[in-house]
Structure 1
């Protein structure tokens, strides 16, 4: 077992190294200081970083197999294990546990929120919307479902509806920069002339306890990328898991900026870098993966159009 654990740990380190090497070869066109020709800024990844979650999963699994449990206790354990699987990026296993929870406790709002999010990431927008609506039937004050349903509307170009949900999410905590970032990204789609003005107005209420406040300042032109990198290295310990979190956020929102200005290749690289820090349960990780899938579909569609056009010209 020790040997297996060592092999698994070493394989993760090797995969991370290869991932960085591949990305380094793809970033020649990407401007900035986080990504240069010979260097990519990433957090350290350690083989045992998820050891505690893995131990908890093993213990819960044992209890589910041999424990004398009530229905409510079993439902609670399935939910807790599902959350742990989700935090490790094992979303298929998490979905299984969440459906088991619903079979035992059909009125668990948090489960519908997770399942709706997975449906959204699968681009099953109708199923996701149905799940999010059930959350509000069970718990009208379930705050983060306003974000998730807003994202459903945003990615289906129903920007007015997304705005309503993003505003409700924002008003629940006006000091949270990530809430105004999504408002800004949404407003760029349907009233771009007002988006930056609103961002600047809302930014006056932000708390510097959040790393995202500095990303907002970057969006407003008050910080450079070098300023962001410098602040990141003093905001948290670069050897800590929190550094991986703030890099995930930074790369995602830099990628969204590149995407909105038409720099698709740079956006693609930055989305991949958001994934490289392996913060699986962050919205920025989830939707970096989602955005990459959409970019891949777009590229495939463009290639098909070129082939079709060439065939037409030959005729």
Structure 2
């Protein structure tokens, strides 16, 4: 069966292990009966497709535009199996061959965001939208870059524009909320409560919005997550998403140890192409920075 419900306590390396019983008890309370993911297997189909692209690119005479398109497509496949360095190399090559390839700018912009190279990310997404103003996901990706780059006001503009294109999508509502909460959390919560009325009730992720609105508990969220699952892959995909937003939920409450554990669990799913997996490591890096600053401040105080 795909359902793995275990008493679960993780000792966060971020906080130096389980140094205090109180901390361990808190983790046990928050993360008991946690639903664990089976890491997604490496796609054989994607690997075979990469091999075919390699043959074509190495053996067939191609026009620059054709080669650029194939390089971008191979880069997307590399991304889907976690080979980020090879993917970024292909995206760069594609842009050199075809400087108006909007998709390649968008793809490489995501990589720059993951690397916290925000200026390069902004330029890449700006280029995407200059070439194709209707490239919808560039608004999401530029909004996320602005959010992590500490510019929530501009992030909210992009993420709000992305949300407005489909007000029934809970993920769009959540990202808009995350940016808005950096500006005014009370107002952001009110806006999320209003947005909740238009969300797709059949989308399991609407329960994530309910969690942020304190309408359901984590236990009920995990129960809702299982509902309607028909395969191990579907369960793993949902857990990738749930772990990430649970990490953000606890991070906002200053519970860095629990948040860290959830982001590590996000990474453990191997769902490389999901937005949530892409930014879980960035979140971990930010948590480490916060912890280091807090420890430094404590040292100075002592």
* TM class by smaller structure: 0.7 to 0.9
Within 5 A, what are the aligned runs for 1:93-242?
A: 93-237=86-230, 239-242=231-234
Distance 1:226 1:40, change over 3 A: closer
Q: CA deviation at 1:161?
A: 1.1
Residue from 23, 27, 30 that aligns with 1:30: 27
Q: CA deviation at 1:112?
A: 0.7
Pair 1:298 & 2:290 matched: yes
In 2: Cα distance, 1:84 partner to 1:52 partner? 10
TM-score, structure 1 normalization = 0.84
Q: Which has the higher contact order (CA 8 A, sep 6+)?
A: 2
Distance 1:300 1:220, change over 3 A: closer
After the TM superposition, list the runs of 4 or more consecutive aligned residues in structure 1 that deviate by more than 6 angstroms: none
SS in 2 for 1:190: coil
SS in 1 for 2:116: coil
SS in 2 for 1:293: helix
Residue from 241, 246, 256 that aligns with 2:248: 256
Deviations 1:43-98 (A, max 9, x none): 22365x41110111111111111123232222221111100011112111000111
Partner of residue 278, structure 2:
286
Partner of residue 10, structure 1:
none
In 2: Cα distance, 1:275 partner to 1:46 partner? 11
Count of equivalent residues: 286
SS in 2 for 1:140: coil
Deviations 1:264-313 (A, max 9, x none): 11111111111111111111111111100111222233444455x28xx7
Q: CA deviation at 1:218?
A: 2.0
Pair 1:45 & 2:39 matched: yes
Q: CA deviation at 1:210?
A: 2.6
2:129–2:135 CA contact under 8 A, matched in 1: yes
Q: Which moved more, 1:151-160 or 1:195-204?
A: 151-160
Distance 1:261 1:306, change over 3 A: closer
Q: Which moved more, 1:94-103 or 1:67-76?
A: 67-76
Partner of residue 261, structure 2:
269
In 2: Cα distance, 1:101 partner to 1:156 partner? 26
Q: CA deviation at 1:240?
A: 2.2
Q: CA deviation at 1:182?
A: 1.1
1:153–1:161 CA contact under 8 A, matched in 2: yes
1:32–1:225 CA contact under 8 A, matched in 2: no
2:91–2:108 CA contact under 8 A, matched in 1: yes
Partner of residue 3, structure 2:
none
TM-score, structure 2 normalization = 0.87
2:68–2:94 CA contact under 8 A, matched in 1: yes
Partner of residue 18, structure 2:
none
